[in-house]
Structure 1
Amino acid sequence: MSEQVIGPKSEVLFHYSIKLEDGSAADSTKVNNKPAKLFMGDGSLTENFESCLLGLKEGDNKSFKLQPEDAFGMPNPDNIYYLDRTKFGSETPAEVGSIIAFTQPDGTELPGLIREVAGDSVTVDFNHPLAGQVVTFEVDILEVHS
């Protein structure tokens, strides 16, 4: 059986860990032992991230550092909203540092981080929590299907 190598159309099952520049772990699929599945070229990952995976095969482990624009992007000021405090209740209090899921008009949920509470105004940041950060991805390739 020939080893499957990750190509531009491969389906990949892999574990990943994301580390910040200070070495702290931001996310890992190993915590719940639920590996991620990726269809190369489906747009769920940036082109540079995918290019780091090309050529890897089952059993490979690799670590690579990504700049913000290649990982989760830069924070966008348009993703910061000022909401009225009356929109928050006892179940979802407006507390700095809280992450609250807001239901969008299409029914999907979008997490927002409460950055500031001033009087009746609550500042909510809908940027990805890792936006603007240099991150290191560590991947363990479990399966590759062409």
Structure 2
Amino acid sequence: MKIETGKHVKLNYQLFINDTTGEMVEETTTEQPFEFNFKTDELLPSFENAIEGLAAGEKFSVTIESKDAYGEAREDLVIEFPKDTFMGEEGIDEEVIAEGEVVPMQDQDGNELFGLVLENKLNSVVLDFNHPLAGETLHFEGNVIEVA
């Protein structure tokens, strides 16, 4: 059976930045494969197009340019907030807004967004709302385990 719309797919992969000589940022295992329903779950369309038609046991090697993955990093998604934005009942928890932490926030429509703390200044905090892989070329190496 081949991968096509609506099929349940299990696969293993390693995800690298740029190519297999770059940093590996994600890896699945046989015990915990990546499972999804083809073209019905929200996956990168360029990844889906690359594996469409493959069958169980087949290997894949897919490179996706940043523009076809998570786009380029956007400066307008790096935002500086007044520190009192993070005020809770017991004050500001400095551990929550430490550099490198991911802070959940909401936009004006109530949608949850996640910002990476780039800088914790005296009176403000700089958050980056870009996808962590924005601006990166992605390379997947893997194999299809099952198509049902």
Normalised by the length of structure 1, the TM-score is 0.79
> For residues 139 and 107 of structure 1, do their structure 2 counterparts lie closer, same or farther at Cα, with a shift above 3 Å needed?
farther
In structure 2, distance between residues paired with 1:16 and 1:75: 25
- How far off is 1:136 after superposition? 0.5
> For residues 78 and 116 of structure 1, do their structure 2 counterparts lie closer, same or farther at Cα, with a shift above 3 Å needed?
same
- 2:25 alignment partner AA: A
In structure 2, distance between residues paired with 1:104 and 1:17: 33
Corresponding residue number in structure 2 for 1:26: 25
> For residues 18 and 122 of structure 1, do their structure 2 counterparts lie closer, same or farther at Cα, with a shift above 3 Å needed?
same
Corresponding residue number in structure 2 for 1:68: 66
> For residues 136 and 110 of structure 1, do their structure 2 counterparts lie closer, same or farther at Cα, with a shift above 3 Å needed?
same
> For residues 96 and 39 of structure 1, do their structure 2 counterparts lie closer, same or farther at Cα, with a shift above 3 Å needed?
same
**Secondary structure of the corresponding residue to residue 63 of structure 2:** strand
- 2:46 alignment partner AA: N
Which one is further off, 88-97 or 15-24? 88-97
Corresponding residue number in structure 1 for 2:135: 132
In structure 2, distance between residues paired with 1:141 and 1:107: 38
In structure 1, distance between residues paired with 2:31 and 2:129: 28
Which one is further off, 20-29 or 87-96? 87-96
**Secondary structure of the corresponding residue to residue 51 of structure 1:** helix
In structure 2, distance between residues paired with 1:137 and 1:91: 37
Cα distance per residue 1:108-135 (max 9 Å; x no partner):
7533211123331111111111111011
- How far off is 1:66 after superposition? 0.7
Identity %: 28
Corresponding residue number in structure 2 for 1:117: 120
Q: CA contact under 8 A between 2:59 and 2:142: conserved in structure 1?
A: yes
* Aligned residue pairs, count: 141
In structure 1, distance between residues paired with 2:77 and 2:16: 24
**Secondary structure of the corresponding residue to residue 50 of structure 2:** helix
Corresponding residue number in structure 2 for 1:7: 4
> For residues 45 and 121 of structure 1, do their structure 2 counterparts lie closer, same or farther at Cα, with a shift above 3 Å needed?
same
**Secondary structure of the corresponding residue to residue 97 of structure 1:** coil
User: Which runs of no fewer than 5 residues in structure 1 stay unpaired?
Assistant: none
In structure 2, distance between residues paired with 1:117 and 1:60: 47
> For residues 72 and 58 of structure 1, do their structure 2 counterparts lie closer, same or farther at Cα, with a shift above 3 Å needed?
same
Q: Output the aligned Cα RMSD.
A: 2.6
- How far off is 1:28 after superposition? 1.4
Corresponding residue number in structure 2 for 1:58: 56
